Structure 1
Amino acid sequence: MTKEEIKALNKELENASPEDILKRVLPVFNPKIALSSSLGAEDQVLTDMLIKIDPNARIFTLDTGRLFRETYDLIDRTSRKYKNQIEVFFPDHQKIQEMVNRKGINLFYESVENRKECCHWRKIEPLQRAFSTLDAWICGLRASQAVTRQNIDVIEWDENNQLVKINPLAQWTEEQVWEYIHAHKVPYNVLHDKGFPSIGCLPCTRAIEPGEDVRAGRWWWENPDTKECGLHKR
């Protein structure tokens, strides 16, 4: 798909519902399209929508080795409910071992550079392996999630990964996400009920205080404009 075709598709779908976006793009890219799920609320909504359209849709996640127990439980519950085995990609153990022995087990607290190196080996490298068989990926980004995501489109060219990137929930609010979850009985991470709106690795995620931004609990020791792991580099 050319950049002009992507631009035209984005224009066509900019006001479409998430379900209609998925119905439109799946036939275009099948079988080289997948949902990259972090098991967050948005990705659980997309999982529910996607499976209702195509029960055999491909869904994968990344196990960084430092996730919450509740996240592992959700992977299992989701796979069982939808009868669709979520693929799990793991980091290269040799790269992780070398990094930890060189910089320490909690290197990410020391500097943004260290944190991004940790994210690279635990998330970016396995993600690139997952992407190697794809032409397009679906993700749960919303424009209102963070200052780093305000200008996302429904359909984008992911220059960093050389793929088409599809954001069906780009214009949804957090309220719409939770309305869908409750209306459709979508399984979600129990940590959301304990003040964790955004959930990543255990050492890098905390509950937020009332009035804080939904991403405030991710890498809370950093400035807001650095709070991306590199998966959504633009």
Structure 2
Amino acid sequence: MTTTQAAAALAHRAAALDTAFGRADLSKRLAGIVAQASGPVVFTTSFGLEDQVLAHAIATAKLPVIFATLDTGRLFPEVYTLWQETEERYGILVRPYYPRHEAVELHIRQNGITGFYASRDARNACCDIRKVEPLGRALAGADTWLTGLRADQSAARGGVKLAEADVARGLLKVSPLIDWTRERALAFAEANDVPLNPLHAQGFVSIGCQPCTRAIRPGEPERAGRWWWEDDAAKECGLHVGPDGKLARSKPAPAETRA
């Protein structure tokens, strides 16, 4: 199969999932996503609100999904506590993927321990080393990638669909909570006693590496606390952008068409 044919096949599968499960509830969506997969399904979690909702739904349904996380080496202590609590609560193993130590050591020698504050290029390089490259290993051989993206997290994410063809990685990328609001996710977590990071209650809405995350102020968008020193509304680290450097690869659906 040529690259063009493979891309077309992925796009066809993504469209079929959108049609079949665009208005389905979470349990049916997840079951349908797993059923259509022709290979491993990998769920990458950072233990945020949305990821914890998905972890609960996947684990309680006992779906054959691989749990993976990217341990950048600079996470909040609360994340590690929640990691252990989540594994114990649901009887799962979350596979860790770490950055290559040679790359981290070279980057710090060249830029300093907090050099990512100095320039956009240095910050992007740090994200590439600590997140993007390990993600490639986490998704190696996967057919379907599950993420916790929501369309209303930022303007850049507003155009993401339930399912998309990730041609660069050769897999199907699916965001089962894409049409959920934060309030809906919080209500689900409360109703199901889902373990959450206590930092959320302190204003840390979107949690990444400790040096690159702050609590948001009243009225700020969800991802304002990520890389706050950069004047960029997109607020992305590179995990979810396409080859063109853009996150949204389709036009946002009209609000009235979203479930």
TM-score in same-fold range (> 0.5): yes
Q: Report the Cα offset of residue 57 of structure 1.
A: 2.9
Q: Where does residue 166 of structure 1 map in the other structure?
A: 174
**Take 2:113 and 2:98, find their aligned partners in 1: how far apart are those partners?**
18
Q: Report the Cα offset of residue 160 of structure 1.
A: 3.2
Q: Where does residue 161 of structure 2 map in the other structure?
A: 153
The alignment's TM-score, normalised by the length of structure 2, stands at 0.87
Q: Report the Cα offset of residue 2 of structure 1.
A: 3.4
Instruction: Name stretches of at least 5 consecutive residues in structure 2 with no aligned partner.
Output: 1-8, 243-259
**Take 2:103 and 2:37, find their aligned partners in 1: how far apart are those partners?**
33
Inter-CA distance 80–34: structure 2 relative to 1 (3 Å threshold): same
Match of 1:60 among 68, 74, 81: 68
Q: Report the Cα offset of residue 138 of structure 1.
A: 0.3
SS in 1 for 2:73: coil
Q: Does 1:97 align with 2:112?
A: no
Matching of residues 19-168 of structure 1 within 5 Å: 19-29=27-37, 31-54=39-62, 57-168=65-176
Q: Where does residue 18 of structure 1 map in the other structure?
A: 26
Q: Report the Cα offset of residue 100 of structure 1.
A: 0.5
1:195 corresponds to which letter in structure 2? G
1:155 corresponds to which letter in structure 2? A
Q: Does 1:204 align with 2:212?
A: yes
Q: Where does residue 191 of structure 1 map in the other structure?
A: 199
Q: Report the Cα offset of residue 11 of structure 1.
A: 1.9
**Take 1:188 and 1:163, find their aligned partners in 2: how far apart are those partners?**
29
Q: Report the Cα offset of residue 226 of structure 1.
A: 4.3
Inter-CA distance 225–195: structure 2 relative to 1 (3 Å threshold): closer
Q: Deviations over 1:53-97 (max 9, x none)?
A: 226531110100000000011110000100101111100001000
Q: Report the Cα offset of residue 98 of structure 1.
A: 0.5
Q: Report the Cα offset of residue 6 of structure 1.
A: 2.0
**Take 2:13 and 2:70, find their aligned partners in 1: how far apart are those partners?**
30
Inter-CA distance 76–138: structure 2 relative to 1 (3 Å threshold): same
Q: Report the Cα offset of residue 17 of structure 1.
A: 1.6
1:113 corresponds to which letter in structure 2? D
Match of 2:222 among 196, 201, 214: 214
Inter-CA distance 79–56: structure 2 relative to 1 (3 Å threshold): farther
Q: Report the Cα offset of residue 203 of structure 1.
A: 0.2
Contact 2:117 2:123 in 1 (8 A): yes
Please report the RMSD computed on the Cα atoms of aligned residues, expressed in angstroms.
1.3
Q: Report the Cα offset of residue 18 of structure 1.
A: 2.0
Contact 1:194 1:207 in 2 (8 A): yes
**Take 2:180 and 2:123, find their aligned partners in 1: how far apart are those partners?**
29
Contact 1:160 1:233 in 2 (8 A): no
SS in 2 for 1:160: coil
Identity %: 40
**Take 1:9 and 1:192, find their aligned partners in 2: how far apart are those partners?**
32
**Take 1:137 and 1:53, find their aligned partners in 2: how far apart are those partners?**
18
Q: Report the Cα offset of residue 163 of structure 1.
A: 1.4
Inter-CA distance 10–54: structure 2 relative to 1 (3 Å threshold): same
